[in-house]
């Protein structure tokens, strides 16, 4: 225990100066003049408002990705003491003095800078030469698009960082596996793989694909592990000990268990990421507790759990809906807009434009604003009073109710008349007793959709209910169509006949609720200080809030289909497009997302060469011709699985996506190409160059190629940093492709 007293304490440190130098250069390139330009650049306008929401603790909903990415950016703001008071309204707006630009941009820049040494490490861990590793890092360093993207308040560089971290830590783990399984570093790297994967997923959904790739690679390795006969099953060692025959083999059999191996991987790569992902949302929901502009999209129960907003209204309202309750009914589906069941004095026009007739009864619509006409009274069909009786008679699942409109005292009715906009459904109206030609059909059976038992009571906010019409067994539904002018452009409500189909547009919940009381009751209640009231918000668990938020994020569709700088995935590989990020208000200094075209093109070439070589080797191996030694072949396959695979999973899914795509979506895929590039070069030099002379010539070519890449990078530097105002001629000279959109001021 006191050993350290007996022996001298010696710290031996190996410092890889290459690594230090690369890190330094990475930091320099990414952090240099970070606060310039002191204005909103491109998508900062978009992420910035979320940072402000975080600072002000206001709830928001963004469908672009899980909250971890936004939180990382907000952390920068928190460290810089940002108070959230800045109006992010247009690109190019000057930051006011309270915005800590440096610390806001710091974290993405750090992530971008650290990607450089990580590229070095990854290639090294893939067992390629030191030279190739430095090459990969240097390519990362001078890639203009990566620099631009890292220096701003954007998420791609963070995503790339975690992607690379996942790959690196898996490789470290995999290399540990051979030497010292279950050692501390083995556990560390395994866990870090899982953590990095979930962070990548937490930043953008695109991270899922890298995660999948890691899972597949891990699964293949685990499958080999199962087939590895030198590892014993659980408990098999014990059996072996008893049998004299196996004792000799004991030395061979490592006392490591396949099962433990599999379990450890499952925990680290499946359980930890899932837990972390939940944790991101947990923190997100803890941080954002105030109601804000995106409340409307969420359900009433969710809104009530936020401070302010709906909670202020619903606080202290009675929980159980009883006969005689006065309620507002909100459509759970909320598409195209959230709205409440509504009626007003006006009637359906006698004859529609297309000549069809209507019942000419009072309109029932769905209205997206709070209004006194949204109030309905739940009435017991067998009694006449519209107030609650004492004792309260709560409404239960399966009960027959009538819904009486509060302002007009007419009850909700549907009948076999075609609805105005959706003629295949029934019209819903508030019944007017013109004559007896059309009898009232105003009985509705209440169905609580999310009930736990069949006698459950209808609860404010929490219960999701359907109204099934008793006579025609049709269901009250929000059709989604807008009524024309006679219906004041409110939304149409219909009765839809269904057999068993379920759709959220038929589901409603009570949002505001009070007991209707007669005068004397009210006085008595005043004395008794009103009945026990339960706060509905407390009943919503984290998982319920999480699943709702997650679901809304996934299904939310924003329809900004076109953007000036949007592009298609095919244009990315050859860099046929760019994005103008920012233009100096007076001079022609400007920032563009524009890649180093030499690297882009050679990256794609390297990928093609890799694929061809791989196919060639594979076919020849199948015919039993081994061009590569076994270990070189295994390395070659692994690098393909990780780098070419990484490129594929980060690029190909975009072809299936329908959202607006931009050039920066390609950057994660590009980093994998950059990793592959030096590896392919080294392979060509090692295995395809036959003589020393060829090798030297090839090396010279590589050096020449790299210096041209450096030259291009340097030429494009003014567009990357935006620090130099170029003359129109110089700008025109930089427009190497017609499709590049470089801004030239007309003077």
Partner 1 sequence: MPPATGGGLAETELRPRRGRCGPQATRAADRDVAARAAARNPKRPARGSRRFETASRWALLALVTLLSFATRFHRLDEPPHICWDETHFGKMGSYYINRTFFFDVHPPLGKMLIGLAGYLSGYDGTFLFQKPGDKYEHHSYMGMRGFCAFLGSWLVPFAYLTVLDLSKSLSAALLTAALLTFDTGCLTLSQYILLDPILMFFIMAAMLSMVKYNSCVDRPFSAPWWFWLSLTGVSLAGALGVKFVGLFIILQVGLNTIADLWYLFGDLSLSLVTVGKHLTARVLCLIVLPLALYTATFAVHFMVLSKSGPGDGFFSSAFQARLSGNNLHNASIPEHLAYGSVITVKNLQMAIGYLHSHRHLYPEGIGARQQQVTTYLHKDYNNLWIIKKHNTNSDPLDPSFPVEFVRHGDIIRLEHKETSRNLHSHYHEAPLTRKHYQVTGYGINGTGDSNDFWRIEVVNRKFGNRIKVLRSRIRLIHLVTGCVLGSSGKVLPKWGWEQLEVTCTPYLKETLNSIWNVEDHINPKLPNISLNVLQPSFPEILLESHMVMIWGNNGLKPKDNEFTSKPWHWPINYQGLRFSGVNDTDFRVYLLGNPVVWWLNLLSIALYLLSGSIIAIAMQRGTRVPAEVAGLSQVLLRGGGQVLLGWMLHYFPFFLMGRVLYFHHYFPAMLFSSMLTGILWDTLLRLCAWGLASWPLARGIHVAGILSLLLGTAYRLFALEPDLLPLFQYNYRQFSSPEDCLSSPEFLDHIRKVMLVIDAAVTNVEDLSSLEEYLVSLGRKHRTVGVKLSSFSVGKGALPLSRAPDLGPLLSPRSPLATHYLSSIPISLDNQSCICPAVWPRHALDLSELPSFLV
> Is 221 or 335 the residue whose CB approaches partner 1 more closely?
335
Q: How far apart are CA 180 and CA 18, in angstroms?
A: 27
Binding letters toward partner 1, positions 492-531, x by CB under 8 A: ----x-xxxxxx-x--------------------------
Stretch that binds partner 1, among 211-219, 409-417, 540-548, 617-625 (CB under 8 A): 617-625
Among the listed residues 57, 221, 335, 737, the single contact to partner 1 using CB under 8 A: 335
- For the bound state, the minimum distance from the C-beta of residue 227 to partner 1, rounded and expressed in Å, comes to 5
Q: Which two tokens stand for residue 692?
A: 């020393």
- For the bound state, the minimum distance from the C-beta of residue 417 to partner 1, rounded and expressed in Å, comes to 18
Cβ contacts of 294 within 8 Å, gap of 6 or more: 59, 60, 61
Alpha carbons within 13 A on the beta-carbon side of 340? 20
Show contacts with partner 1 in window 641-670 (CB under 8 A): 656, 658
Query: Mapped to the 3 state alphabet, what secondary structure does 471-491 carry?
Result: CCCEEEEEEEEECCHHHCCCE
Among the listed residues 479, 490, 578, 673, the single contact to partner 1 using CB under 8 A: 479
- For the bound state, the minimum distance from the C-beta of residue 464 to partner 1, rounded and expressed in Å, comes to 16
> Is 562 or 729 the residue whose CB approaches partner 1 more closely?
562
Q: Rule CB under 8 A: say whether 623 interacts with partner 1.
A: yes
> Is 216 or 226 the residue whose CB approaches partner 1 more closely?
226
Tell me how many helices (H) and strands (E) the chain has: 26, 16
Q: How far apart are CA 340 and CA 337, in angstroms?
A: 10
Q: How far apart are CA 463 and CA 448, in angstroms?
A: 6
> Is 14 or 560 the residue whose CB approaches partner 1 more closely?
560
- For the bound state, the minimum distance from the C-beta of residue 179 to partner 1, rounded and expressed in Å, comes to 24
Beta bridge partners of 328: 375
306 by DSSP, 3-state: which?
coil
Contact 668, 159 (CB under 8 A): yes
SS3 content of the chain, % helix, strand, coil (to 5): 50, 15, 35
> Is 297 or 599 the residue whose CB approaches partner 1 more closely?
297
Q: How far apart are CA 392 and CA 500, in angstroms?
A: 33
Q: How many residues bind partner 1 (CB under 8 A)?
A: 34
- For the bound state, the minimum distance from the C-beta of residue 503 to partner 1, rounded and expressed in Å, comes to 5
What is the secondary structure of 660-704 as a DSSP string? Answer: ---GGGGHHHHHHHHHHHHHHHHHIIIII--SHHHHHHHHHHHHH
> Is 308 or 398 the residue whose CB approaches partner 1 more closely?
398
Among the listed residues 470, 534, 637, 689, the single contact to partner 1 using CB under 8 A: 470
- For the bound state, the minimum distance from the C-beta of residue 139 to partner 1, rounded and expressed in Å, comes to 31
Q: Rule CB under 8 A: say whether 484 interacts with partner 1.
A: yes
What DSSP designation does 253 have?
Answer: S
- For the bound state, the minimum distance from the C-beta of residue 541 to partner 1, rounded and expressed in Å, comes to 25
Q: Rule CB under 8 A: say whether 245 interacts with partner 1.
A: yes
> Is 527 or 658 the residue whose CB approaches partner 1 more closely?
658
Q: Rg for the chain (alpha carbons), in Å? A: 33
Alpha carbons within 13 A on the beta-carbon side of 302? 24
> Is 34 or 225 the residue whose CB approaches partner 1 more closely?
225
Among the listed residues 120, 173, 211, 333, the single contact to partner 1 using CB under 8 A: 333
> Is 144 or 232 the residue whose CB approaches partner 1 more closely?
232
Stretch that binds partner 1, among 128-136, 137-145, 470-478, 684-692 (CB under 8 A): 470-478
Stretch that binds partner 1, among 92-100, 174-182, 491-499, 633-641 (CB under 8 A): 491-499
Q: Rule CB under 8 A: say whether 260 interacts with partner 1.
A: no
> Is 31 or 258 the residue whose CB approaches partner 1 more closely?
258
> Is 92 or 484 the residue whose CB approaches partner 1 more closely?
484
Contact 86, 48 (CB under 8 A): yes
> Is 502 or 616 the residue whose CB approaches partner 1 more closely?
502
Give the strand pairing for 491-497 and 579-583: unpaired
- For the bound state, the minimum distance from the C-beta of residue 743 to partner 1, rounded and expressed in Å, comes to 15
Among the listed residues 452, 538, 622, 747, the single contact to partner 1 using CB under 8 A: 622
Stretch that binds partner 1, among 68-76, 212-220, 306-314, 479-487 (CB under 8 A): 479-487
Contact 284, 209 (CB under 8 A): no
Cis peptide before 391 (omega within 30 of 0): yes
> Is 8 or 248 the residue whose CB approaches partner 1 more closely?
248
Q: How far apart are CA 219 and CA 198, in angstroms?
A: 17
> Is 18 or 335 the residue whose CB approaches partner 1 more closely?
335
Stretch that binds partner 1, among 91-99, 133-141, 196-204, 472-480 (CB under 8 A): 472-480
Show contacts with partner 1 in window 212-241 (CB under 8 A): 223, 226-227, 229, 233
Show contacts with partner 1 in window 346-365 (CB under 8 A): 353
- For the bound state, the minimum distance from the C-beta of residue 560 to partner 1, rounded and expressed in Å, comes to 8
508 by DSSP, 3-state: which?
strand
* Residue 185, phi then psi, degrees to nearest 5: -70, -35
Question: How many other C-beta atoms can be found within 10 angstroms of the C-beta atom of residue 682?
Answer: 18
Q: Which residues of 528-550 are buried (b: 16+ CB within 10 A; e: fewer)?
A: eeeeeeeebbeebeeeebbeebe
Q: Rule CB under 8 A: say whether 248 interacts with partner 1.
A: no
> Is 250 or 704 the residue whose CB approaches partner 1 more closely?
250
Beta bridge partners of 130: none
Binding letters toward partner 1, positions 571-610, x by CB under 8 A: ----------------------------------------
Give the strand pairing for 362-367 and 340-347: antiparallel
What is the secondary structure of 321-380 as a DSSP string? Answer: -BTTEEEEEEESS--SS--EEEEEEEE--SB-TTS-B----EEEEEESS--GGGEEEEE-
CA dihedral 553, 559, 565, 568 (to 10 degrees): 80
Q: Which two tokens stand for residue 740?
A: 């590049």
Q: How far apart are CA 236 and CA 220, in angstroms?
A: 24
Stretch that binds partner 1, among 379-387, 619-627, 645-653, 678-686 (CB under 8 A): 619-627
Show contacts with partner 1 in window 276-315 (CB under 8 A): none
Q: Rule CB under 8 A: say whether 206 interacts with partner 1.
A: no
- Total residues found in the chain within this entry: 747
> Is 312 or 489 the residue whose CB approaches partner 1 more closely?
489
- For the bound state, the minimum distance from the C-beta of residue 562 to partner 1, rounded and expressed in Å, comes to 6
> Is 496 or 511 the residue whose CB approaches partner 1 more closely?
496
Among residues 372, 367, 371, which one has the least CA distance to residue 482?
367
Among the listed residues 437, 529, 624, 691, the single contact to partner 1 using CB under 8 A: 624
Among residues 48, 82, 228, 227, which one has the least CA distance to residue 152?
48
- For the bound state, the minimum distance from the C-beta of residue 500 to partner 1, rounded and expressed in Å, comes to 6
- For the bound state, the minimum distance from the C-beta of residue 335 to partner 1, rounded and expressed in Å, comes to 5
> Is 622 or 746 the residue whose CB approaches partner 1 more closely?
622
Q: State the first-to-last Cα distance of the chain, in angstroms, to the nearest integer.
A: 79
- For the bound state, the minimum distance from the C-beta of residue 480 to partner 1, rounded and expressed in Å, comes to 3
Binding letters toward partner 1, positions 557-576, x by CB under 8 A: ---x-x-x------------
Binding stretches for partner 1 (CB under 8 A)? 223, 226-227, 229, 233, 245, 258, 333, 335-336, 353, 470, 477-480, 484, 496, 498-503, 505, 560, 562, 564, 619, 622-624, 656, 658
């Amino acid at each position: 225990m006191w050993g350290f007293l007996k022996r001298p304490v010696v710290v031996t440190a190996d410092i890889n100066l290459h690594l230090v130098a690369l890190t330094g250069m990475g930091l320099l390139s990414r952090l240099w003049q970070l606060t310039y330009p002191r204005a909103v650049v491109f998508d900062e306008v978009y992420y910035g408002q979320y940072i402000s929401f975080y600072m002000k603790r206001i709830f928001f909903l963004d469908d672009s990705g899980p909250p971890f990415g936004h939180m990382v950016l907000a952390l920068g703001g928190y460290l810089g003491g940002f108070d959230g008071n800045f109006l992010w309204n247009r690109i190019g707006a000057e930051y006011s003095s309270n915005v800590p630009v440096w610390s806001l941009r710091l974290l993405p820049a750090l992530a971008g800078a650290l990607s450089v040494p990580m590229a070095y490490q990854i290639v090294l861990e893939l067992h390629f030469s030191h030279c190739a590793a430095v090459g990969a890092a240097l390519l990362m360093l001078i890639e203009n698009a990566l620099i631009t993207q890292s220096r701003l308040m954007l998420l791609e560089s963070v995503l790339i960082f975690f992607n690379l971290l996942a790959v690196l830590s898996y490789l470290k783990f995999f290399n540990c596996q051979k030497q010292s399984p279950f050692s501390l570093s083995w556990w560390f790297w395994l866990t870090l793989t899982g953590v990095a994967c979930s962070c990548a997923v937490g930043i953008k959904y695109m991270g899922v694909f890298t995660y999948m790739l890691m899972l597949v690679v891990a699964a293949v390795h685990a499958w080999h592990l199962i087939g590895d006969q030198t590892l014993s099953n659980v408990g098999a060692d014990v059996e072996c000990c008893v049998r004299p025959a196996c004792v000799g083999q004991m030395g061979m059999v490592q006392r490591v268990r396949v099962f433990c191996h599999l379990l450890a991987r499952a925990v680290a790569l499946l359980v930890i990421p899932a837990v972390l992902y939940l944790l991101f949302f947990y923190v997100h929901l803890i941080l954002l507790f105030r109601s804000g502009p995106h409340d409307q999209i969420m359900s009433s129960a969710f809104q009530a759990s936020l401070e302010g907003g709906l909670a202020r209204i619903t606080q202290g309202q009675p929980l159980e809906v009883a006969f005689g309750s006065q309620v507002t009914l909100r459509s759970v589906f909320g598409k195209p807009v959230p709205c409440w069941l509504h009626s007003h004095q006006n009637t359906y026009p006698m004859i529609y434009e297309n000549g069809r007739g209507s019942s000419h009864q009072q309109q029932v619509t769905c209205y997206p604003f709070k209004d006194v006409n949204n109030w309905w009274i739940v009435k017991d069909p067998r009694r006449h009073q519209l107030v609650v009786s004492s004792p309260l008679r709560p409404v239960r699942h399966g009960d027959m109710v009538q819904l009486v409109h509060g302002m007009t005292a007419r009850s909700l009715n549907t009948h076999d008349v075609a609805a105005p906009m959706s003629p295949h459904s029934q019209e819903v109206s508030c019944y007017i007793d013109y004559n007896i030609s059309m009898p009232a059909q105003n009985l509705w059976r209440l169905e609580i959709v999310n009930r736990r038992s069949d006698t459950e009571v209808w609860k404010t906010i929490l219960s999701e209910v359907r109204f099934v019409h008793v006579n025609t067994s049709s269901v009250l539904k929000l059709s989604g169509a807008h009524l024309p002018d006679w219906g004041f452009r409110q939304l149409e409500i219909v009765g839809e006949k269904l057999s068993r189909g379920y759709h959220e547009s038929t589901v409603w919940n009570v949002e505001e609720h009070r007991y209707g009381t007669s005068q004397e009751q009210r006085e008595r209640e005043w004395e008794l200080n009103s009945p026990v009231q339960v706060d509905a918000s407390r009943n919503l668990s984290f998982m319920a809030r999480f699943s709702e938020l997650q679901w809304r994020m996934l299904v939310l569709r924003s329809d900004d289909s076109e953007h000036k700088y949007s592009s298609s995935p095919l244009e990315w590989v050859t860099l046929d497009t760019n994005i103008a990020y920012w233009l100096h208000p007076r001079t022609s200094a400007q920032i563009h997302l524009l890649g180093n075209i030499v690297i882009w093109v050679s990256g794609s070439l390297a990928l093609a060469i890799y694929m061809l070589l791989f196919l060639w080797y594979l076919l020849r191996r199948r015919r039993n011709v081994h061009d590569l030694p076994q270990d070189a072949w295994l390395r070659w396959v692994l690098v393909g699985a990780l780098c070419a695979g990484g490129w594929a999973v980060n690029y190909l899914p975009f072809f299936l996506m329908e959202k607006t795509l931009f050039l920066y979506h390609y950057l994660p895929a590009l980093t994998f190409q950059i990793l592959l590039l030096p590896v392919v070069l080294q392979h060509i030099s090692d295995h395809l160059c036959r003589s020393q002379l060829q090798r030297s010539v090839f090396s010279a070519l590589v050096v020449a190629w790299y210096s041209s890449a450096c030259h291009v990078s340097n030429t494009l530097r003014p567009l990357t940093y935006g620090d130099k105002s170029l003359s129109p001629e110089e700008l025109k000279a930089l427009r190497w492709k017609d499709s590049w959109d470089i801004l030239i001021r007309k003077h």
